[in-house]
A and B are shown apart, each in its own frame.
Chain A
Amino acid sequence: MQTKRMTFSSKWLPYALLAPQVIITLIFFIWPSYQALLQSVYRQGDAFGIRPPTFVWFDNFKALFADTLYLNSLKVTLIFSVGTTLLSMSVALLFAVMVNRMIRSRDSYTTFLVWPYAVAPAIAGVLWWFIFNPSIGIMPYVLDMFGYDWNHRRNSQDAMMMVIIAAAWKQISYNFLFFLAGLQSIPHSLIEAAAIDGASRMKRFWTIVFPLLSPITFFLMVVNIVYAMFDTFGVIHATTEGGPAQATNILVYKVYRDGFVNLNIGSSAAQSVILMAIVIILTVIQFRYIERRVNY
């Protein structure tokens, strides 16, 4: 590949321009990661310096995988992230298909549908916390009319449902934009050709449109799983705080609880290292797959 080489008159200018990003990366990413790696193989000392931190090899990891609470958290995270991804992507695709069919009002709908993305996760959490509040919320009131007794403080399924909805709601905007762009990039003549070829509207969607969207769908799937696993701390913290009875205690939230509330630094660090490994694996999968698949 031919690249244009930029030359600077001063030798130091390029370094100075790079410095802010490098410094931020070092302080906020590399150094904490290093600390996490280090602490994950130590058992912390006490507060008075009587017993110094001890090097314990992989005891923290062994303890984690023997811990039913941690295994439960893994399971909860899996359900939560799959649920959030499926919900946000399917709703976003539905919206994108509907908006794509509009001609004049397309832009205004797009604008409205993108707004939730500007809402901070914690605020989104509070919003849904109010809507689903068993005492004063509107949804329990409506559900009660259908004979369903909603209470996410007691019922772990209700709690999971609520956090999935709250987390997915925010992500719909993002997915919607990508799906809409994807739909618009499909030549209209393909759909027309399929219509002449005798495919019904549904069949056209599933045999032509959906396969052509697959690179975008896959990209969004990875992004959404990463979002659900790592960016939803605010949603959980503002609504269920991991409860009831650990039912919504996802991995990220457990790291925070074990480390900063329960002060079990070693275990918390080991959990972060596992999370880090998961991110790396997801990213590698994404790049491998996207590169192979993007030009159909």
Chain B
Amino acid sequence: MSHSPLPAQAAAEPAGLAARAAARIAEHPTIALTGILAILVLVTGFVEPNYLSVSGARNTLLQAAPLGILAGAQTILMLTGGIDLSVTMIATGSAYVAANQSPEGAAIAILLGIVVGLVVGSANGVGVSVFRVNPLIMTLAMSGILLGLFTAWAQTILQGSTQMGPFIKLIGGGSFFGNRIPYSVVVWALIAGGLIWLLRRTGWGRLIYAIGDNEIAVRLAGVRVWQVRITAYIVAGVLGSISGILLGGRTGAVDLQLANAFLLPSVAAAVIGGTSIFGGVGGYAGTILGALILSVLNSMLTFLNVGQAIQQVVYGTIVLALAWGYAGLTRRA
């Protein structure tokens, strides 16, 4: 989106220098985010000099790819004013199905894995748009239902392989070009291109922003809002599936905790990238940077020997701080 800087300055004038800087950042989030990313990379390199290498970059990207795709799902839904708290269970379930079907061949395993996202995304979409269940409640409940179902199915119809086949392992964890570029980053780049195209260059993308800003107005303009919402949840579900399959391929073996730890970061990456939880504002370019920032941060905390628990505290704090900062920006404007 192109913004003219003039009105932003006018709006921020009375609030002083800090507010003006904040408004400028709100207008051009990608510039500030790129700066933050660069600083984080340098600081991490200072902590662990080996990090500033091809393998360091590769490891960061390997981590960032599944997170970035999950955060893509959140970005689309947050733009509509929704959210998907079941997206990590979709990822886990898809990976579980793909692992189970891996003996049947990679194509079938991946396809059936994606079917999980299609089905669950459709159910979320129908619940939110047709039955008007609050998206938080709908997807939180869906997450619980999925965990229960997959726990039961693990003992019954999904008994068998919990190992991904070699092709999925290669896509999820392997690299090419002299072991420099992970395949999963290629998948992520293709998806990123697709998402940016969808959001910026299609009517569907226009409507995603529009219903997040004012659903009633979009309805009165003659749009069937439920159709837009359902498709958004389906796209999010499929993105969850792809992310889960990549993540499963990276770890090799799949269990029901696979994507658990990614829920908060998936929201955090979108929020860091400038997408508003209230809808209508943001985009995927910022989310990509958000996912990269979180991955670098993760590496840094690992090098500093900070445990998983503290990392979750850090993610939670980041989301809170940004949500507070964003609320402050909109109050002023």
Our verdict on whether A and B bind, yes or no, reads no
B-side residues, CB < 8 A to A, are: none
A-side residues, CB < 8 A to B, are: none
